[in-house]
Amino acid sequence: MADLTMNGPEWAAHLGIPEGGAGSYGPGLCPFEGCGARHFWIHDHRDSKGWICSSCERKGVGFDGLEVVGQYQGAVLVNLADVEPEHVRWLWPGRIPRGRLTILDGDPGLGKSAITIDLTARVTRGDLMPDGVRGLGSGAGVVLLGCEDGLADTVRPRLDAAGADVSRVVALQAVRDSDGRPRLPTVGDTGAIEAAAQTVEAALLVVDPLSAFLGRIDGHRDTDVRQALAGLAALAERTGLAVLAVRHLSKSGGGNPLYRGGGSIAIIAAARSGLLLVKDPEDDDLRVLASTKNNLAPPQPSLMLRLDSSGEALRVEWLETTERSAGELLSSDSDREHRSVRDEAVEMLRAELENGPRTVPALRKAAKSAGVSWRTLERAKQTLRVMSKPTGFGGAWAWSLPASEVRQPTWRTSEMTDLADFAKSQRLHGVSADDTNEVRQAQTLADFGEIEAPEEPTEEGLI
């Protein structure tokens, strides 16, 4: 009996096939219905066949009709005259096709899961979709593949708040291995997914988040991702199941939404439709759902929505449409984040300088305490048109606000000492740290260029 842990070479040895030559092994497609993943295909000189699937881990010998990939055994051709044209079937017309993969991208905490719950409720009731378009026309089931929200304290209350027919919703919590032990399901467990869909006559599968159910693969490698999604795509096409997979945005900036989703670009490439959820650039309480990709329909208008938490559970309130595209919204969101950081730096710098000049070392220390980078503070300096002058020959530089924004200066003791040293170097005798009039006179000499000032040190030159 074969051990399920055997790899390709071990399985070949188990079949008595010599290593190399006519008994070599190569890639093929799993013959089990609903899998379709690539596996190790083995063939020897006695015309016996053996296979081991790298996805579902099933093995066998002597299967007829095994499709071989990568080894020529005759071309398989389809004459397009024999192909019957079909209309695209939709779960949500123009946005979520049936039999295909749709990706919903967005930052954490914006309401992606709440949207999947809202759509689940509409599917179970056969209701109109959020834009008022008829979807299925009659109620259907939904399979939930999720791990972030509790079923009892989050998912069920939200379904109830959305008015779902919960008898038509099943959550696939685990699958059992051959030894009977349960484990977290993956998108490769197409047999279990199909069985779950059949129990409620499902039209929708929600995977939230996709990264948690890709299995033991590198989610950033195109080949791994394509292989992991191949079986799921085949199942969706064969059964007409609409697959809605949730994904978080990456931390990288940029306004192209196709490159902002986490993981490999192969994920959005495999999808026939892509959606993006972002904050409204003009109102933090609003969200916008926009289309990022659609291979099967013309671009659809973006939809505005609000998350209502006034009841016992969070629910979605859909609003009007907007003409703003996904790219515009993502650029605005990125710009707003940058503006927010810069605005904080501007306010911090204005507060530091409003009572008079501050030396660069003192500002650097204040910026570090406030969590503001020096580069950001330099941008704030440009925004405020801050002036910089040396406090003395070879001494520290000081920043000050333009005259229009300056209050009566109140110098700090340490900075007064710096200026007192400068005054002494210019033969202004009798100056002390407490003699602010003489200190300001020394500063004035530098401000009006009566002495030659050294160049302001660069970022690299500052300690």
Q: What range defines the domain where residue 347 resides?
A: 341-447
Q: Domain holding 284: CATH number? A: 3.40.50.300
Domain match, 440 and 294 both: no
Domain presence at residue 121: yes
Tokens of 86: 């079909």
Q: Note down pLDDT in tens along the chain; length 463 residues.
A: 444 455 556 655 665 555 544 444 445 555 555 555 555 444 443 444 455 555 555 555 444 444 333 333 456 678 888 889 999 999 999 999 999 999 999 989 999 999 999 999 999 999 999 999 998 989 999 999 998 899 999 999 999 999 999 999 999 999 988 788 899 999 999 999 999 999 999 999 999 999 999 988 888 888 889 988 999 999 999 999 999 999 998 876 556 777 778 888 999 999 999 999 998 877 888 999 999 999 999 989 999 999 998 788 999 999 999 888 877 777 665 555 555 677 788 888 888 888 888 888 889 888 888 888 888 888 888 888 888 887 765 567 889 888 755 554 444 555 455 555 555 554 444 444 444 444 444 444 444 343 334 444 444 444 3
Residue 389 located in a structural domain:
yes
Q: How far is it, in rounded angstroms, from Cα 262 to Cα 277?
A: 14
How many domains does the chain divide into?
Answer: 3
- For residues 180 and 32, membership in a common domain is answered with no
For 398-412, letters b (16+ CB in 10 Å) and e give bbbbeeeeeeebebe
pLDDT of 70 reads 35
- CA gyration radius, the chain: 33
Same domain, 279 and 130: yes
Answer yes or no: is 455 within a domain. Answer: no
Residue 179: half-sphere exposure toward Cβ, Cα within 13 Å: 5
Query: Which of these three, 66, 85, 104, is where a domain ends?
Result: 85
57 & 158 share domain? no
pLDDT of residue 280: 85
Q: Is 195 helix (H, G, I), strand (E, B) or coil?
A: helix
Residues 45 and 107 in one domain: no
**pLDDT of 389:** 82
Structural tokens at position 365: 């220390």
pTM tops 0.75, yes or no: no
**Dist CA 451 CA 423 (whole Å):** 11
Buried-state track 177-205, b at ≥16 Cβ within 10 A, e below 16: eeeeeeeebbbbbbbbbbebbeebebbbb
User: Same domain for 315 and 431?
Assistant: no
Is residue 453 domain-resident?
no
> Does residue 329 fall inside a structural domain?
no
Q: Are residues 319 and 223 in the same domain?
A: yes
Q: At what angle do helices 222-239 and 190-200 cross, to 10 degrees?
A: 30
**pLDDT score of 454:** 44
Relative orientation angle of helices 326-353 and 374-384, to the nearest 10 degrees: 80
**Could you give the angle at which helices 374-384 and 360-370 cross, rounded to 10 degrees?**
110
CA–CA dist 355, 332 (Å, integer)? 35
Whether residues 211 and 228 fall in one domain: yes
Whether 426 maps to a domain, the answer reads yes
**Is residue 205 located within the same domain as residue 290?**
yes
Clarify whether residues 45 and 130 are in a common domain: no
Looking at the domain assignment, is residue 332 inside a domain? no
Q: Is residue 88 classed exposed, middle or buried when 0-12, 13-18 and 19+ CB atoms within 10 A define those classes?
A: middle
CA distances (Å), origin 358, targets 267, 310, 385, 424:
52, 48, 15, 20
Distances (CA, A) of 238 to 193, 231, 373, 433: 13, 11, 54, 85
- What b/e readout covers 414-432, taking b as 16+ CB neighbours within 10 angstroms? ebbebbbbbbbebebeebe
Instruction: Using the 3D structure, point to which of 324, 352, 379 is the last residue of a domain.
Output: 324
Cα gap 62→290, rounded to integer Å:
50
What token pair was written down for 126?
Answer: 């056969």
Last residue of a domain, one of 293, 324, 355: 324
Same domain, 136 and 111: yes
| CB contact set of 270 (below 8 Å; sequence gap of 6+) | 101, 225, 226, 229, 233
Is 463 a domain residue? no
Beta strand residue intervals within 58-148, DSSP E: 59-61, 90-92, 96-97, 101-106, 141-146
Claim to verify: residue 67 and residue 216 sit in the same structural domain: no
